[in-house]
Amino acid sequence: MNDNRNSSRPSSPPEEELSRRLREKRLHNFSLNIAEEELGDTPEAEEPDSLNSYSDPSVEREQTAQASRTAKQTKKRAARAHDARNKEKRKGNRLFFRVIWIVMVVLVSFLAGQYAVDGINDMLATGRDAVEVTVDLPVDPTTEEVADILEEKGVIQEKTFFKIYAMFTNSSEYYSNGTFKLDTSMDYQAIINALQRTSNRLDTVRLMIPEGTSVVELASLLETNGVCAASDFLAAANTTELDESYEVLGFIEDRGTRYYHLEGYLFPDTYDFYQNDDVTSVIMKLVNNAGKKLLDDEIQEQVEASGMTFDEVLTLASIIQMEAADTDDMYMVSSVLHNRLEDGAQYDIFTLDCDSTSYYPYRTKESVPEAQRETFTSTYNTYTVSGLPAGPICNPGLDAIDAALNPQATNYYYFCHDADGNAYYAVTAAEHQQNLVEAGLR
């Protein structure tokens, strides 16, 4: 019986039918739960696709892609519109700046052209009247300082153009200090040439350097006449920097005890120096003249025949210069000194005993600085030094040099002079003592 009952029961609905019924039931229950007052007159909103859980996924993807494409197209249209606006602005700006640029170019070209015309006219001294002007340049002036001075004096009008000209023509390396006379009708190159040649200077100092002047005395003389500082000259006279430049300086024998290296080689003569002159130029002028005078062929031949070196001849001549009363006396004094040097030892005479060497490089004891006066000992003192000192004690003239090379033939070993310059000569020490008394020296 059981089997029959089961056979008579209707079959179960399919699962799809059950799912459909369930959804309809949920939708029905959902619609019943919505209050009527919430509905009002508002139009029924379309349910978003995302809520339709039963919608087709491919449709949703297509809608999303379409929305993305639409957004991109909208963005591109906005960007193109922005670019178009910027392009129009740039066109306007370019036109504005082009106008400004053209105006500036025209203005600058006009000003540059006017400046170039004025500068070239000034460079060539076009239209300037010829007026003599005196200008003073300081020591080691720069091109800018020179331009300022020239403009102030009315020699030029365009100092900036002058500096440019000097730079491009390599004319700004050296200007001589001093006083110059210029003409306002001179062009730039003529002005520069005039200012770079010391021969054009007006502030010359004609100085006569006496024979027998020492380096110390010469330094004082130069400073007194405004040529250069004494200290600078003394320093320059004690260097060897010029030795390789001048043949005459090659004769110097540096025995390590010379007070001034160039003593004896600064030839006494009349010179034209300049106010505030360059000390090296001063030294070079003196040495150059010494070379011209002392490298004479005849003098050199006599030096070779004397058996002495050139430096020894100058040293002996410097002592003769300081000891002799006059030119004739030089040859007698030279005779005495030669006799002592050559055979004085036979008479127990080993030194020259010349007062002029006692305080060298100073002339007398009183000229020695007070702080050293009582203790000063000269290494040139021929009362203590055997033979000739280390170098000349002054700068001798040609007469003294000739006397050193050509002594009078005598047998004198002593000499002295009275207050009036009268000379006394003696063969023996006893005769010399009598001469000292007669000359008023004892």
3-state helix, strand, coil in the chain (%, to 5): 55, 10, 40
Closest C-alpha among 118, 120, 152, 122 to residue 135 = 152
Pair (283, 311) in one structural domain? no
Q: What's the DSSP call for residue 278?
A: -
Helix (H, G, I), strand (E, B) or coil at 217: helix
Pair (363, 380) in one structural domain? yes
Rounded CA-CA distance 325/424 in Å is: 11
Contact partners, residue 68, CB within 8 Å, separation at least 6: none
Task: Give the model's pLDDT for residue 128.
Answer: 74
Handedness of CA 229, 231, 233, 236 (dihedral sign): negative
Task: Give the model's pLDDT for residue 218.
Answer: 98
> In degrees, to the nearest 5, what angle opens at C-alpha 145 toward C-alphas 116 and 196?
90
Examine residue 49 and state whether it is found in any structural domain, yes or no: no
- Its domain, for residue 92, covers 72-123
Instruction: Kindly list the averaged pLDDT for each block of 10 residues, start to end, along the chain of length 442.
Output: 46 62 63 48 47 57 76 77 72 67 65 62 76 89 92 89 86 82 89 85 93 98 97 96 94 87 97 92 96 95 96 98 97 98 95 97 94 94 96 98 98 97 96 97 92
Q: Of 250, 273, 294, which one is at a domain's C-terminal end? A: 294
Asked if 280 contacts 236 with a C-beta cutoff of 8 angstroms, the reply is yes
Examine residue 220 and state whether it is found in any structural domain, yes or no: yes
Query: How many distinct structural domains can be found in the chain?
Result: 4
Asked if 285 contacts 261 with a C-beta cutoff of 8 angstroms, the reply is no
Asked if 327 contacts 321 with a C-beta cutoff of 8 angstroms, the reply is no
Pair (140, 246) in one structural domain? no
Handedness of CA 71, 75, 78, 84 (dihedral sign): negative
CATH number of the CATH domain containing 283: 3.30.1490
Structure tokens at 105: 């170019």
Examine residue 63 and state whether it is found in any structural domain, yes or no: no
Which helix or strand (DSSP H or E) is residue 136 part of? strand 132-137
Examine residue 17 and state whether it is found in any structural domain, yes or no: no
Structure tokens at 192: 């520069």
Examine residue 15 and state whether it is found in any structural domain, yes or no: no
Pair (310, 428) in one structural domain? yes
First vs last Cα of the chain: how many Å apart? 192
> In degrees, to the nearest 5, what angle opens at C-alpha 162 toward C-alphas 160 and 165?
110
Helix (H, G, I), strand (E, B) or coil at 424: strand
Asked if 196 contacts 265 with a C-beta cutoff of 8 angstroms, the reply is no
Contact partners, residue 396, CB within 8 Å, separation at least 6: 211, 212, 264, 268, 314, 317, 318, 320, 321, 404
What is the reported pTM?
A: 0.68
Task: Give the model's pLDDT for residue 380.
Answer: 96
Rounded CA-CA distance 322/421 in Å is: 12
Pair (355, 391) in one structural domain? yes
Examine residue 343 and state whether it is found in any structural domain, yes or no: yes
User: What count of residues does the chain have?
Assistant: 442
Task: Give the model's pLDDT for residue 92.
Answer: 64
Which helix or strand (DSSP H or E) is residue 107 part of? helix 57-123
Helix (H, G, I), strand (E, B) or coil at 345: helix
Pair (237, 341) in one structural domain? no
Task: Give the model's pLDDT for residue 110.
Answer: 55
Which helix or strand (DSSP H or E) is residue 231 part of? helix 230-236
Rounded CA-CA distance 105/108 in Å is: 5
Examine residue 40 and state whether it is found in any structural domain, yes or no: no
Task: Give the model's pLDDT for residue 40.
Answer: 47
Residue type, 190: A
Q: What is the 3-state secondary structure (H, E, C) of 142-194?
A: CHHHHHHHHHHCCCCCCHHHHHHHHHHCCCCCCCCCEEEEEECCCCHHHHHHH
Examine residue 173 and state whether it is found in any structural domain, yes or no: yes
Give the helix ranges, DSSP H, for 295-412: 297-306, 310-323, 327-343, 398-405
